[in-house]
Chain A
Amino acid sequence: MAIGLTHYLILAAAMFLVGMVGVATRRNSLIMLMSIEIMLCGVNVVFAAYSRVHGDLSGHVFVLMNFAVAAAEAAIGLAILVEIYRLRRTVNVDELKTLME
């Protein structure tokens, strides 16, 4: 069976779900940030696949925007994590519940 749009969409959905499960189950906030990157990567595959189906390169431009957003998200998220670590000496989200108490 030739590789078509469906294969790429299934791959992207699987990547997104892996990222989702990672965010939901892991308690180490570094790995939660990595799971968000996995989800963004799945979305990029969808953009590129539809771009090829329509023969229009606009999808590639959107993937570029996604790259920039992912970079900004990683930079800010990691800066916040470093700051939290300085204050609390942990990156485990289970122990960061000051607002809850």
Chain B
Amino acid sequence: METFLFYLFAGLMLGSAVMTISSRSAVSAAVWLIFSFVNAAGVFALLAAPFLAILQILIYAGAIMVLFLFVIMMLQGPVLPAERERRSLWKILLLGAPAAAIAVTLISWLSQSGLTAFAVAAPETAGTAERVAELLLNRYLLAFELISIVLLVAIIGALALGRKEEDLPWQ
């Protein structure tokens, strides 16, 4: 069962990621990416990380992708012409061939190494919200506070960038 679910989630996640980078319009790319992130949540659930699975859907598929879609709708209204892209085949091959070579090397290297079996995840190591929060607010308290400062700075930066020139206080 786990095998089936892994291949289902992994295949859909990778397939829709490929659709994201190959679709012509930005809107369909964003919708494929949402689907990819929902399947990533399934992969997290298989990795005994239910809290991360829920956060993946809430933050990535919910918040971040909605932000993307808003910006796409704002920019790609009637004004934006169809995407003019020079997508020459040799360029894609030039970049895809090294990527494929790296992938093949990694796969052969990884499948030779003996790290194939998980230690059986005991029930008390599943990443529920309670256990992750305990770790986050004890051992990683400083990192937790710092990351909230990063988010605060990002909010202020986005606000400052989004305002009109004459509204800025230093103008």
Q: Could you tell me which A residues sit within 8 Å of B by CB distance?
A: 1-11, 13-15, 17-22, 24-28, 30-31, 33-35, 37-38, 41, 44-45, 48-49, 51-53, 55-58, 60-61, 63-65, 67-72, 74-76, 78-83, 85, 89, 91-92, 94
Which residue of B is nearest A68, CB measured? B147
Contact partners of A52 in chain B: CB under 8 A? 47-49, 118, 121, 125
Chain B contact residues: helix, strand, loop or mixed:
helix
Interface CB pairs A-B, < 8 A, 25: A2-B116, A2-B117, A4-B117, A6-B115, A9-B110, A17-B99, A17-B102, A18-B21, A26-B85, A34-B20, A34-B30, A38-B33, A44-B56, A45-B47, A48-B44, A48-B49, A51-B49, A52-B118, A52-B121, A70-B64, A71-B151, A72-B150, A75-B158, A82-B75, A82-B162
B6 proximal to A (CB < 8 A): yes
Query: Which of A1, A35, A63, A85 interacts with B21 by CB under 8 Å?
Result: A35
A3 to B52 Cα, complex, angstroms: 20
A45 to B49 Cα, complex, angstroms: 11
Q: Could you tell me which B residues sit within 8 Å of A by CB distance?
A: 2-3, 6, 10, 13-14, 17-18, 20-21, 26, 29-30, 33, 36-37, 40, 43-44, 46-49, 51-52, 55-56, 59-60, 63-64, 67-68, 71-72, 74-75, 79-80, 83-87, 91-92, 95-96, 99, 102-103, 106-107, 110-111, 113, 115-119, 121-122, 125, 127, 131-132, 135-136, 139-140, 143, 147-148, 150-151, 153-155, 157-158, 161-162
Contact partners of A26 in chain B: CB under 8 A? 21, 85
Query: Which of B95, B153, B161 interacts with A24 by CB under 8 Å?
Result: B95
Contact partners of A8 in chain B: CB under 8 A? 43, 47
Which residue of B is nearest A32, CB measured? B21
- Beta-carbon contact of B49 and A60 below 8 Å: yes
Report which residue of A10, A24, A35, A78 has the largest number of chain B beta carbons within 10 angstroms of its beta carbon: A78
A70 to B60 Cα, complex, angstroms: 9
- Beta-carbon contact of A68 and B151 below 8 Å: yes
Query: Which of A2, A6, A70, A89 interacts with B110 by CB under 8 Å?
Result: A6
A18 to B16 Cα, complex, angstroms: 10
- Beta-carbon contact of B26 and A11 below 8 Å: no
- Beta-carbon contact of A83 and B110 below 8 Å: no
Contact partners of A41 in chain B: CB under 8 A? 36-37, 40, 60
